[in-house]
Amino acid sequence: MQFCDECGSMMHADGDTWVCRSCGYEELRDSASEGAMTTTEGQEDDDVVDMSEVEDTEIGPTTDARCPNPDCDGERARYEMKQIRAADESETRFFTCVECGKKWREDDN
């Protein structure tokens, strides 16, 4: 993967040139440095994981949370917490309703 020296965006290969789609910066490709790059070319991710027979307790923690889907009366949700903002701010909580699968998030404001 190559990143733009001007704006930091990911660059895309266009023949023998790297092109930034954000700012238009161009740079010649270097086959020696590209040999060390990891690509997703030729990788397949078609494996479907069957979770139908997995116990809820094995999937992750749940908590009391009212589902925001108006068509669902679910009051339990799986949750996960991630630090997606600045380190001095609280984590964001991501929920998935165990009844309907609706996903939502909560931030401390």
Q: Is 72 annotated as a binding residue?
A: yes
Q: Is 97 annotated as a binding residue?
A: yes
Q: Is 20 annotated as a binding residue?
A: yes
Q: Is 18 annotated as a binding residue?
A: no
Q: Is 23 annotated as a binding residue?
A: yes
User: Would you list the DSSP string of 18-57?
Assistant: EEETTT--EEE--HHHHTT----TT----PPP--TTS-HH
Q: Is 67 annotated as a binding residue?
A: yes
How many angstroms separate the CA atoms of 14 and 8, rounded? 18
- Sequence ranges of the binding site for Zn(2+): 4, 7, 20, 23, 67, 72, 97, 100
- Sequence ranges of the binding site: 4, 7, 20, 23, 67, 72, 97, 100
